[in-house]
Structure 1
Amino acid sequence: MSMRELTVLGTASQVPTRRRNHNGYVLRWDDEVILFDPGEGSQRQLLHTGITATDLTRICVTHFHGDHCLGLPGMIQRLSLDRVPHPVPVHFPAGGAEYFARLRHASSFHETADVRAEPVDSDGWRVTTRVGTLEARRLRHPIETYGYRLVEPDERRMLPDRLAAYGIRGPAVGELIRAGHLDVDGRRVTLAEVSEPRPGQRFAFVMDTGLCDGVHALAEQADLLVIESTFLNVDAALAAEVGHLTAAQAARVAAGAGVRRLVLTHFSQRYADPQRFTDEAREHFDGDLVVAEDLGTVPVPPRRVPSTG
């Protein structure tokens, strides 16, 4: 059975706390298992989740600040230690290629895994995965930073009762799907008559950034948006100065973009009470809201119901 859910490894920002590890997020999306921004301690956090290095199919790094990448050496070495049999692409800002090379070979190890450096070199960069298109958008931060979005293509779902009504079965169904129509007893039956839209789902991952076009583009119509909310509105001036978002800003982005489930994370150590993030976000977003906790899981919402209007 396919599974679509986010597993949170860490939710701290620059400084970890007793309750919050450095960043780390694993998206399981059917056959793809993507590790985002592995900070320090990510390898150990994985042990608590049941996810193994062998499960990982690719790694995405938004930027090369330490809380988002210092777990890379351990994760890459673990791929070789466990002799992961499949290639594992690693996506990261092209301008940080030197940092990636240093992290990849931070210490001596016997390299057996097929780790493939696939840098993000432009705004709107995209790559085809087994489950959809992985896209990147440039964000606004003091160093080169990209957010990511996974977009599943729209499809159609066949309706068995309508197929049966036209006597369409077996290989004829495949022919109908390929051609878009099928002639049955002198009548042309179109694909639209025996199917309904099956909207693709979208996941977005937005880390360290101030408000910019890239944030809004990534969030647009996301079923699940994971977004930094390092600060509260009381520190909005500081957030703008250092290139981060407040909970209020993240919530307004989600509301304007039609996000279905909003996950706030990457919290500054200056705030002890996570309820404050909930309270601030709720002033602007009335949808499904999650204030992330370490080792928590967040399911991707069920598919949107196609409009019948």
Structure 2
Amino acid sequence: MSTRDLVVLGTASAVPTRARNHNGYLLRWDGHGILFDPGEGTQRQMLHAGVSANDITCLCLTHFHGDHCLGVPGVVQRIARDGVAHRVRAVFPASGAEYWRRLRHAAVFADTEVIDEEPIAGGEVRIDLPGAPFTLTARRLSHGVESYGYRIEEPDGVTMLPERLAAHGVTGPLVGTLQREGAVTAPSGRTVTLEECAVPRPGQKAAFVMDTRVCDAIAPLAAGADLLVIESTFLDADARLADEYGHLTAAQAGAIAAAAGVRRLVLTHFSERYPAAEQPRFAEEAAAAFDGDIVVARDLDRVPMPPRRRLAPVPAVGAGPV
């Protein structure tokens, strides 16, 4: 059975707390696992979450501040120690290549050859992931150092309607032919088109937006996302600090989600300045602009992708509702 969910490994910003580890987010998608921003302690958090190095097929860093990358040595060494056999793509800002090299080879260990490095540069970058059922795109954000956000997008498809197929006598291998070729000759001799037996199925989309102030690159990353994982380091009272340090507030995250038509909003990357009693305020401030589903992430949460959007079938020509 396919799994599409977000395993939250850490939710703190620069300073971890007793309740919040440094960043770490594993997006699981039909057998693929994209590990975003493994901060310090990620390897141990993976054990607590019940996920392993074998679940990782891609490692994406937004930037090279420590809370987003100090877990790289442990994760890489775990990939080696556990004998991960599949290729693992490592994506990171090219401007931080020297930091990547130091992290990648931070200690003496029996190394692995499965990691394929892909430094990225430019305003928008398409990352090729062979065999993945989605595309991965990065866009340059606005932070104190070069930082990228990521978008995962599945191609649109169709959902077959069994009652329509049966009505047209399209069964067995003919169904596959109809899906591949768009039309098929039914046993009656009539040509049946895909549009008569299916409805469009929008591909699912997820976005990961870490350290940034409000900027133009966020909108295309978040547009129509089923799941938006976004930093909300500050509350609105500290909006000046957020802009100064290149971060977002919970209210800004909510406004971004509303404008982008997001379905599920995951707030994370919380400053240590806010005690646990203030955590509900993050959801409250985001909800002032966004009326969709809001998750204030906690360490070791599992956040499912929302169910697929399902479009209602168009009534068959000359027939009542199907």
Band the TM-score falls in, shorter-chain normalisation: over 0.9
Correspondence 1:209 to 2:241 = no
Distance in 2 (CA, whole Å) between partners of 1:308 and 1:168 is 18
Q: Which residue pairs with 2:151 in the alignment?
A: 149
Q: Is the 8 A contact 1:31 1:131 kept in 2?
A: no
Q: Is 1:294–2:296 an aligned residue pair?
A: no
Taking the TM superposition and a 5 Å limit, the aligned residue runs for 1:81-92 are 81-92=81-92
CA displacement, residues 258-295 of structure 1 (integer Å, 9 cap, x when unaligned) = 11100000001111121121221121111100101111
Contact (CA 8 Å) 2:23, 2:39: kept in 1 or not?
Answer: yes
What pairs up with 1:71-82 in 2 under 5 angstroms? Answer: 71-82=71-82
**Cα offset for 1:230?**
0.4
**Aligned with 1:234 (options 237, 250, 272):** 237
**2:150 alignment partner, SS class:** strand
In the other structure, the counterpart of 2:254 is 251
Q: 1:223 aligns with which of 222, 226, 249?
A: 226
**1:199 aligned onto 2:202:** yes
Instruction: Return 5+ residue gaps in structure 1 as ranges.
Output: none
Asked if the contact 1:87–1:116 (Cα under 8 Å) also holds between the matched residues in 2, the reply is yes
- Mapping for residues 111-122 of structure 1, pairs under 5 Å: 111-122=111-122
- CA-based RMSD: 1.3
Q: CA deviation at 1:308?
A: 5.0
Q: Deviations over 1:174-202 (max 9, x none)?
A: 22222211233442211100111111100
After TM superposition, list the pairs within 5 Å mapping 1:3-42 onto structure 2.
3-42=3-42
After TM superposition, the structure 1 stretch with the greater mean CA deviation from structure 2, 168-177 or 62-71, is 168-177
The answer to whether the 8 A contact 2:199-2:313 is kept is: no
Q: Find the aligned partners of 2:116 and 2:128 in 1 and give their Cα distance.
A: 15
Q: Residue type of the partner of 2:100?
A: F
Mapped contact 1:40–1:67 kept (Cα < 8 A): yes
Identical amino acids, percent of aligned pairs: 61
8 A Cα contact 1:85 1:113, kept in partner: no
The 1-side partners of 2:157 and 2:265 are apart by 25
**Partners of 2:178 and 2:6 in 1: CA distance:** 36
Match of 1:103 in 2: 103
The secondary structure found in structure 1 opposite 2:217 is helix
TM, length-normalised to structure 1: 0.97
Count of aligned residue pairs for this structure pair: 309
Could you report, residue by residue, the CA deviation over 1:211-259 in whole angstroms, capped at 9, with x for unpaired residues?
Answer: 1111111111110100000011111111111110000000000011111
1:20 is displaced (CA, Å) by 0.8
Runs of 4+ in 1 over 3 A off after TM superposition: none
C-alpha distance in 2, partners of 1:113/1:48?
A: 27
